[in-house]
Amino acid sequence: MKRALFWLPLLALLDLSGCGDSERTFRTRESDETGGGGGQSNGGTPGTSTVGNDPGAGKGGGGADSGKGGMSAAPSAGTGGGQPADGGDGGEDSSDGGDDGAGTVSTGGVTGNGGTAGDSGTGAMAGAPEPGGHDEPGECSPGDTRSCAEAGLMGACAEGTQACGDDGTWGECSITPEDEDTCEAGNDANCNGEANEGCVCTIGATRPCVGALGNCAQGMETCLSDGSGWSECSIQPEAEDSCAPGDDANCNGQPNEGCPCVEGDTQPCGPPTVGICRSGTSTCGPGGVWGDCVGQKTAMPRDCTSSADNDCDGVPDDTLDDVCKCEIGAKEACNTHPQDGVGICKAGSRTCVAMQGGSASDWGSCTGAQGPKARNCASSQDNDCDGLPDNRIDNVCKCQIGATEACNRPPREVGICKAGSRTCVATQNGAGSDWGSCVGSQGPKTADCSSSLDNDCDGVPDGGTGGPAFVKVPEGYCIDSTEVTRAQYQAWLDTNPSKAGQPVGCDKNDTFQPDATCLKGTNVCQTGCSQHPQVCIDWCDAYAYCQAVGKRLCGSIGGGYVDAARGNDITASQWYNACTSHGRHPYPYGDTFDYDFCSLGASTAPVASHDECQSKVNGYRGIYDLSGNVQEWEDACNGDNCFVRGGWYYDDDRSQGLPCNGGSQTAPRTQDRMSPGMGTGFRCCSR
């Protein structure tokens, strides 16, 4: 009985429901077989199982299923304890029986009855005995040792040893209980079988953050160094969540708050899949920003040449409508005319062309069309499309445009006289044609003896074709500047002039050659005589020469011969008017005879070799040798006796032949027309 009482206080079981329970309980190794130990008191009366009743006053109540038995109040230590209360019955289904209160080992008293063990429950724990309790003598052999655990000690004490004393009883445990446990994990320094009593947690222990949400739930709390509590969570809430998937950085249980999207999420983007268009995928990137649309194929401009639906409107691009108005490259006739195929008339052609880079099409310009034009008399084409060439001659096209013909033709086309010319010109802008104005025609003009032209169109130049040069006097006619020279006369003879057409009185003149006998005269120049006056010719020869070279033998100012009665009339005689400078002087050079002025002497001299033998009056200057050198035939005859003017080289002033009037106021010197003379020559005047 004594042995049983020794172990009862040690049967109290350690309450493992939490570190926060301050009550110290003990469990015996026999508690699996018996009920909980009764409370040990100093003589108290058994009471109920409610904690806090008077010591020894109650019995621990049995717990319900899986519950824990009630704990009786701890008895006070005494020298003769009262009747301890019975431990409560063990709870059912693996629950602990009720615990007795931890009491001080007494030296006497009655051990309460153990509670009834519940189903599979743990019996009630008796109060822990003081270490060093003694077994009955003889229980061991002196010198033996054993672990204190074999003696039923727990906690740190169980690690100690006992040695068997000489009396055959086990001695004190080598490890004695401390006043309290430390908070190092598993520490049971008070050896009551319940580690870390009074500790909220064990040093170094960690646990998930209690009550934490979001990212904070992934954090840990660490037991404080004194075991008095837990540190704050290792992950603290942040101001806001990130957009990484599931991130709840603010730890409010709502991940990714404020994010347009969550990183890694995808969504379709771009156009719907129509025609060539294809949707793409956009992925949420850092910061919750949707990334570029990848893989999409967007619409392209419409291509009127393509059968594909490039603009993704559900219709092939080359569908003809108000945008693609025609098939690009197609052609069609345009600007047609009823006369097409006749003359120049024909329809045009136009081609369908791409516009706006091919996104539209339309018919291009009509080219090549040709409708009827106005008739063009210059064209051999059928421009008016009437089936006939335009340049046919009719009452519209009266002539061939550009053709010319003579017009205003004069009776004789000699000298300056000539027909005009007219050109067929277009009228009505070419729709008709007619002859234009006659241009270039020239009829006869008044003869101009100073001109080399045939102004009067008589077939002879007005100034003649040979002989000395003319001088035109103010009265309007011309006179040779000198007598006709031998060279000039010979040039005419060399033309073998015809004898026909000689004037009346010259019908017997059968030669124009100078008289040979005369030429051999003593006073006639024989050598180097080409520029001397021609002598030894008769009146008929002189007349024929002047006529042949387009002039006439000087005669009447009004034309024809001079009436012999008017030989010294300045208004009648060409020769006399010129010699006197229109009646101003009796001599060509002035009023007074001067032997040295003109050619006087044994023979003739070259014409114009005496510069003083000319008039000083303007209009008559340049007419040489009208006095001296040779006397000159004039077309002024009285029968066959014709005037010879100006005297000759063998004259002197006494002969009265050198003055212009021949020394007579009425009639100058005469000579038979058929009689040549070695001192007689001639000059011509204009007709």
Cβ atoms of 606 and 597 closer than 8 Å: no
* AA identity, residue 675: S
Residue 538, pLDDT score:
98
Q: How far is CA 155 from CA 76, 136, 189, 191, 552, in A?
A: 23, 24, 6, 4, 186
62 touches 91 (CB < 8 A):
yes
pTM of the model: 0.46
Convert 224-248 to b/e letters by CB count within 10 Å (16 or more is b).
beebeebeebebebeeebbbbeebb
- The pLDDT score that the predictor gives to residue 10 is 30
Q: What is the pLDDT of residue 654?
A: 53
CATH of 447-687, one of 3.90.1580.10, 3.40.50.620, 3.40.1280.10, 3.30.360.10: 3.90.1580.10
What was the pLDDT predicted at 136? 67
533 — alpha (psi -120 to 50), left (phi > 0) or beta?
Answer: beta
pLDDT given at position 225? 86
pLDDT value of residue 449? 85
Q: Which residues of the chain have pLDDT under 50?
A: 1-134
- Provide the pLDDT for residue 435: 94
How many other C-beta atoms are found inside a 10 Å radius of the C-beta of residue 186? 11
What is the pLDDT, as a whole number, of residue 181? Answer: 87
| Ranges of each domain in the chain | 1-130, 447-687
- pLDDT for 687 equals 82
Report the alpha-carbon distance of residue 370 to residue 342 in Å, rounded.
11
Which pLDDT value is given to residue 650? 84
Residues 6+ apart with CB under 8 A from 322: none
* In contact, 13 and 31? CB cutoff 8 Å: yes
